[in-house]
Amino acid sequence: MNKDWILTQESFEALLTWLDPNREVAGRKYEEIRLRLIKIFACRGCYEPEDLTDETINRVTNKLREIGATFTGEPARYFYGVANKVHLEYLRRKPTPPSIVATESSEEAERQYQCLDRCVSKLTPENRELVMHYYQEDKRAKIEHRKHLADRLGIAVNALRIRAHRIRLSLQDCVQECLKEAAA
Amino acid sequence: MKSQFESNEEIRRFLLGTLSPEEAAEFEERLLGDSELYEELSVAEDELIDQFLSGEMPAFERERMETHFLRTPERMKQLSFARTLRNYVSANKLEGPARELKPEKKPSFWSTIFSKNPGLAYSLAVALLLVLVGGVWFTGRLLNRPTQPQTVWAIELTPGLQRDDAEIKSFSIPATVDTIRLELDLAEDQYPAYQAEVQDIEGRSVTSSKNLKAQTANARSIVAVDVKAALLEHGDYRAKLSGVPANGNLANLGSYPFKVLGK
């Protein structure tokens, strides 16, 4: 991979301008593309999806002078084409698995639990109750329980899934922040 | 247009890497421009992890989770968070429906009857008063009784080879049991103190206990480790026992495998 080329502020500005003349819209598009590429690389079973995404973005940015004036269409498609090339090169390198620490000490587990407790207490009462009810049961009981919960809320089960997922994401972010603070 | 079931199935297969290359490419292109699909994918990721942890997953998918899905540090973090959330919800279980989820109030059957028949309402009120007086007396009797202790269930474990299924003690946890007491067999009580850690199949710590003392149970030397039943889900575990000598250097005394079959 070409790791020598570094994304400068100037080239990043050029990338944003290419994505959209409105800076706010461009920033949003950039983040959407980045997250989707990370997901795509992860779902292809790559070990370092973030690195491959950065490499893809660097290459696109580096090509902007050539393609900026002539390219028509959705920029995300161009990123996708470059991502496919980056992926092929990655496969040719026969990547070795990184050493992911699979074990977690009881202290780490305890810290995470304490952080979660703190983060749950920051939720609104409605969100706290929803998340505690939603993740309560397993297997068949879970399906019935969630149907019942959705009925009570007056929403579809799928809408309930998404609502619970968003609260879960916010909790996960909060716990990560809390763990960082504890480590600092 | 695909049905919800087909979409969910396709998302699941994409996450597990079992779509054909053509199907996967077509899915990825849709994913780039479809925010709803991206969110559905994120929801499905969490659901897969939850199913993996609860043991609800077929063996083939479980294998794909281990070899394909859980390859990145980010997903390992998601798994770790999911486990903590699961333990947290189990330990702080809510009773009854959520407050904000109460259905709209409608006129009840009784209020309809009483508005039509005040005599019946009077008779029922007297009967209710009698029931209340009786209830107060009965509750008083109940409160004066000694409080019920937690239900503790003792399981005797011997150190063994994890790979040998015949060696592994398997059990289901009855719903009434609050605590599992693991009685770890000691060949000889050699140490002033012991410590134990219960780990799941991936080597993650479920709970640990320090400063444990050897005890005698049924003429055997044991170290007893109490584990909250809520922390044990269906799956394989092992308790790792260490002796703590006076100099503090831990001595590994073995691994005690066991399997929880369900609750």
**pLDDT tens for residues A119-129?**
999 999 999 99
Sequence-ordered list of residues with C-beta below 8 angstroms from that of A153, at least 6 positions apart, any chain: A130, A160, B101
**Given this model, what pLDDT does residue A102 score?**
54
Mean pLDDT per 10-residue segment, chain B (263 residues): 71 95 95 91 95 89 92 91 93 63 40 49 60 55 46 79 59 80 84 88 82 80 87 86 82 83 78
Cα–Cα nearest to B168, from B235, B228, B73, B77: B235
Nearest CB to A49: which of B32, B72, B203? B72
With contact defined as beta carbons under 8 Å apart, do B31 and A40 qualify?
Answer: yes
Residue A4: is its pLDDT beyond 60? no
**Given this model, what pLDDT does residue B94 score?**
67
CA A44/CA A37 separation, integer angstroms: 11
Looking at this predicted complex, what is its ipTM? 0.88
Beta strand extents in A4-131 (DSSP E only): none
**Given this model, what pLDDT does residue B114 score?**
47
CA B245/CA B194 separation, integer angstroms: 8
**Given this model, what pLDDT does residue B102 score?**
39
Q: What is the separation of C-alpha B6 from the centre of its chain, rounded to a whole number of angstroms?
A: 30
With contact defined as beta carbons under 8 Å apart, do B69 and B16 qualify?
Answer: yes
Closest alpha carbon within chain B to A166: B43
Q: What is the separation of C-alpha B200 from the centre of its chain, rounded to a whole number of angstroms?
A: 12
Nearest CB to B203: which of A103, A112, A129? A103
Q: Which tokens go with A92?
A: 């040719």
Min CA distance, B245 vs chain A (Å)?
21
Residue A133: is its pLDDT beyond 80? yes
**Given this model, what pLDDT does residue B59 score?**
92
User: What is the average per-residue pLDDT within A42-67?
Assistant: 92
* Residue A50 with chain B: CB contacts under 8 Å: 74
Kindly report the number of other CB atoms within 10 A of residue B155's CB atom: 18
Contact state of B75 with A44 under an 8 Å Cβ cutoff: no
Nearest CB to B31: which of A36, A46, A101? A36
CA A49/CA A90 separation, integer angstroms: 11
Of A4-13, A55-64, B17-26, B239-248, which gets the smallest average pLDDT? A4-13
CA A63/CA A70 separation, integer angstroms: 12
**Given this model, what pLDDT does residue B112 score?**
42
Give the residue from A34, A56, A104, A169 with the most B CB atoms within 10 Å of its CB, the best one to mutate: A104
> By CB neighbour count within 10 A (0-12 exposed, 13-18 middle, 19+ buried), where does A120 fall?
buried
**Given this model, what pLDDT does residue B24 score?**
96
Give just the sign of the alpha carbon dihedral B80, B84, B90, B95: negative
Min CA distance, B183 vs chain A (Å)?
20
**Given this model, what pLDDT does residue B21 score?**
94
Q: What is each CA distance from B50 to A43, A159, B59, B62, B227, in whole angstroms?
A: 18, 18, 15, 12, 22
* Residue B206 with chain A: CB contacts under 8 Å: 109
CA B90/CA B229 separation, integer angstroms: 9
Contact state of B92 with A48 under an 8 Å Cβ cutoff: no
At how many degrees (to 10) do helices A106-122 and A125-134 cross?
130
Among the residues of chain B, which ranges form H helices?
A: 4-16, 21-33, 35-54, 59-67, 73-91, 109-116, 118-144
Q: Buried b vs exposed e over B92-123: b needs ≥16 C-beta within 10 Å?
A: eeeeeebeebeeeeeeeeeeeebeeeeeeeee
* Residue A139 with chain B: CB contacts under 8 Å: 54, 56
Nearest CB to B89: which of A49, A135, A169? A135
Cα–Cα nearest to B237, from B254, B211, B250, B256: B256
Contacts for B65-70: CB closer than 8 Å, 24+ residues apart: B65/B16, B68/A45, B68/B16, B68/B17, B69/B15, B69/B16, B69/B17
* Residue A118 with chain B: CB contacts under 8 Å: none
Residue A73: is its pLDDT beyond 90? no
Confidence band, pLDDT 50/70/90 cuts, at residue A50? very high
Read off the pTM: 0.60
Residue A95: is its pLDDT beyond 60? yes
* Residue A80 with chain B: CB contacts under 8 Å: 28-29, 32
The DSSP annotation for B67-97 comes to: HTGGGSHHHHHHHHHHHHHHHHHHHTPPPSS
Min CA distance, B174 vs chain A (Å)?
16
At how many degrees (to 10) do helices B59-67 and B35-54 cross?
110
Contact state of A175 with B99 under an 8 Å Cβ cutoff: no
* Residue B26 with chain A: CB contacts under 8 Å: none
* Residue B50 with chain A: CB contacts under 8 Å: 135
Sequence-ordered list of residues with C-beta below 8 angstroms from that of B167, at least 6 positions apart, any chain: B158, B160, B161, B257
Query: Tell me, what amino acid is at A75?
Result: P
With contact defined as beta carbons under 8 Å apart, do B159 and B256 qualify?
Answer: yes
User: How much is the CA Rg of chain B, to the nearest whole Å?
Assistant: 27
